[in-house]
Structures are given as structure tokens and as C-alpha cells.
């Protein structure tokens, strides 16, 4: 049976309000310092994974005691970031959806890498979104419903050289059979007219970003 949703708390920038996104039946996977964040807020991660080089030995012991399962890897020999390890662990459980929290921040390399790993979920037919205090991101290769989650803007960015056949319904600036190419800003700062809108495309990979200042 397919698990409904897995929520990943990364070792990046995390805030207490992120806990409000949790549902009762979510599986929770924590990457490195994300496990300590959860435990400090009274939440037990189902799985904690990483090299845990960002927390003390005493904090590591706390994570070991308070997590359902702890997977520790060598910080030198590992090939993946802690977030990627958590993501691969989530994929192994084949959920319907993966939500990543705190996967953006001051390290642009990590931020872009975390946006790109969402592609791997799509290849497995698993929907995925990435959320922080100011942004909610998801990908589509066909059609996506964009719901009003309190963000002011909706922007569209191609993650392939071009995205064709773009149609928007329920947006302030509609598009019909439009094409977006990398480097173009046509899809920036649109707005929903109501509670939801629909984005559909014919080809390519489209990044949908809901954002606020």
C-alpha cells in the first residue's frame, strides 16, 4: 500500500511554524540537524539520517534515543548530501507525496541541488514540493493545480531548455499555448484570481514557485 506523505526536515533553516504543516499520518524523516530540531520541539522523527557533523556527541545520543531509527554515514566517504540521503530514503518508501522543509538558505549550491532532486521524485511518479518561509515550489511535466497557500506571487521557470504548450487558467495573466525558454522572465510574478489555478504544459519540465516577500 502506498504511503500518503513523507515530510523531510532538512538540516537547513528551520522554524517552529513548519511544524504546523505536519499531518497525523505523515512519516517524518530528518536530515542531520533537522532531527535535533524536531526532538527539541517534542516531535519524534521516524528516521534520522546523515553524518551528524553539525551537532555534538551529546546531541547525537539524544537523537539516537528519541528517533525511531538512526542512519549514520561517514562524513568523508559519503557521496550524497544529508538532504539527498533523506530524500533517497523517502523514495524507497514510495509515498504519494514528499514535502521538504528548510531545504533552502544562504548556500545557493545546496538550494539548487535540492530543487533539482525533485526531478528524481517525478521520475518515480511521486509528487514533491519544497517549502520555506517565503516560497513553495513544485514541478510539473503535464498539469498542476496551484492552490492559494497565502503566497502573493506565482512564477513559472523552465528547467529544460524550453517548455511548450503552457496554458494558465485562474491567473491574473493567462497564457495560451505559450513557450518559455531558459533566460526568459515572461513567467515571473503572476497571481491567482481565486483559491486555485491550473497550469498545463505539452512538453518540458516546469518549476512552479509560489512566493512572498
pLDDT of res. 89: 94
CA atoms within 13 A on the CB side of 40: 12
pTM reported for the whole predicted model: 0.90
pLDDT of res. 182: 95
SS3 60: helix
**pLDDT tens profile 97-109:** 999 998 888 888 8
DSSP state of 200: E
* DSSP letters spanning 142-197: SEEEEE-SS-SEEEEEESSSEEEEEEEESBSS--SSEEEETT--TTSSB-BSSSEE
**pLDDT tens profile 44-81:** 999 999 888 888 899 999 999 999 999 987 665 466 78
pLDDT of res. 110: 84
Query: What parts of the chain have a pLDDT lower than 50?
Result: 77
Distance CA 105, CA 108 (A): 7
pLDDT of res. 74: 66
Amino acid at each position: 500500500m502506498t504511503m500518503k506523505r513523507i515530510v523531510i526536515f532538512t538540516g537547513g533553516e528551520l522554524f517552529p511554524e513548519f511544524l504546523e504543516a505536519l499531518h497525523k499520518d505523515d512519516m517524518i524523516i530528518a536530515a542531520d540537524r533537522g532531527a535535533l530540531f524536531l526532538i527539541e520541539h517534542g516531535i519524534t522523527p521516524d528516521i534520522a539520517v546523515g553524518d551528524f557533523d553539525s551537532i555534538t556527541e551529546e546531541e547525537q545520543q539524544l537523537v539516537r534515543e528519541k528517533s525511531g531509527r538512526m542512519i549514520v554515514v561517514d562524513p568523508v566517504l559519503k557521496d550524497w548530501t544529508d538532504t539527498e540521503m533523506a530524500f533517497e530514503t523517502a523514495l524507497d518508501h514510495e509515498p504519494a507525496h514528499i514535502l521538504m522543509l528548510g531545504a533552502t538558505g544562504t548556500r545557493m549550491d545546496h538550494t539548487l541541488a535540492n530543487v533539482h532532486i525533485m526531478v528524481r521524485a517525478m521520475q518515480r511518479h511521486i509528487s514533491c514540493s519544497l517549502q520555506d518561509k517565503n516560497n513553495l515550489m513544485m514541478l510539473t511535466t503535464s498539469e498542476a493545480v496551484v492552490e492559494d497557500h497565502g503566497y502573493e506571487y506565482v512564477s513559472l521557470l523552465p528547467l529544460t531548455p524550453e517548455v511548450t504548450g503552457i496554458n494558465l487558467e485562474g491567473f491574473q495573466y493567462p497564457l495560451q499555448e505559450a513557450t518559455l525558454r531558459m533566460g526568459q522572465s515572461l513567467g515571473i510574478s503572476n497571481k491567482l484570481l481565486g483559491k486555485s489555478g491550473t497550469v498545463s504544459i505539452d512538453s518540458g519540465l516546469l518549476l512552479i514557485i509560489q512566493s512572498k516577500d
